[in-house]
Amino acid sequence: MQDKVVVVTGAGNGIGRATALLLGSLGAKVVVNDLGASGSGEGGDAGPATLVAQEIIAAGGQAVADTHSVASRESAGAIIQTAISHFGRIDGVVNNAGILRDRIFHKMNEDEWRAVIDVHLNGTFYVSRAAAPYFKDQESGAFVHMTSTSGLVGNFGQANYAAAKLGIAALSKSIALDMARFNVRSNCIAPFAWSRLIGTLPSETEAEKQRLARMQSMKPEQVAAVAAFLVSDESAEIDGQILAVRGNEVMVMSQPRPVASVHNAHGWDQESLRSHALPALKRAFTPLDRSPDVFCWDPV
């Protein structure tokens, strides 16, 4: 990582902060981006980004704070320009910025939908798109995007967040396919770690309390280690993948592939679909699980 220039969005707290600090300690030049908004996206404060940048510098590293929003093309472009202006190049992007506006689907309003999509999915696109021409011209670069099992598996009250996070997984795969010829890689992390966003989730029932207690045992630094590795040249063999990081566990997540099929030489109608296709296919149906149902064991 020595002298590589890396942008980390949402780096004022949690996983982003831990990633920026680790990259700085490894010799990277870090653009510490954070709007300083609340967990739901309101307001702004230069303090978090500035404090993290100062911490990197105080430890002997190189960093610059940036407070532009990821949620528009112009401001996202300014984040990448900060890297170019201060350090002369860009080698890696960690798309970590995020907000939550949870609501049960039938009560979710348009503002809650758009705000989350703008920060997570659009923000990931805008920042990545701004960096892509530099990566292409220098024929090197690495993207790391934060997805979530809320999208990969499912969760209650998070239609906006889940849609954005699953969209990020597809965006990452498309970037990997389009830019592999330029030696540019794109991967996702589905992180499990305690953060201020996780702290906003409800903890009223016993199951919810147990889930939050389990999350509190998983540290942002454990995710940061994998994020920094994916930015480095040491991970050159990893491209287009989704890694879940859960405590000291690192898992490769599956990506959609056919798991069962039936055919009918005469084509299908309502009766044959009911009597033949459904019984043959339903053994392969995915259960209506939530993320806590799938990841139900204590983290290592």
Is residue 161 flagged as an active site residue? yes
Q: What strands lie across the sheet with 249-252, from one edge to the other?
A: 62-66, 29-33, 5-8, 92-95, 141-146, 184-192, 242-246, 249-252
Which one of the listed residues 161, 192, 194, 295 is annotated catalytic?
161
Task: Kindly calculate the radius of gyration of the chain based on its CA atoms and give it in whole angstroms.
Answer: 20
d(CA 196, CA 14): 7
CB 215 within 8 A of CB 198: yes
Q: Which of 50, 55, 77 is nearest to 66 (CA)?
A: 50
Torsion of CA 247, 251, 257, 258, to 10 degrees: -90
Q: Which of 90, 96, 95 is nearest to 29 (CA)?
A: 90
Catalytic residues, by residue number, are 161
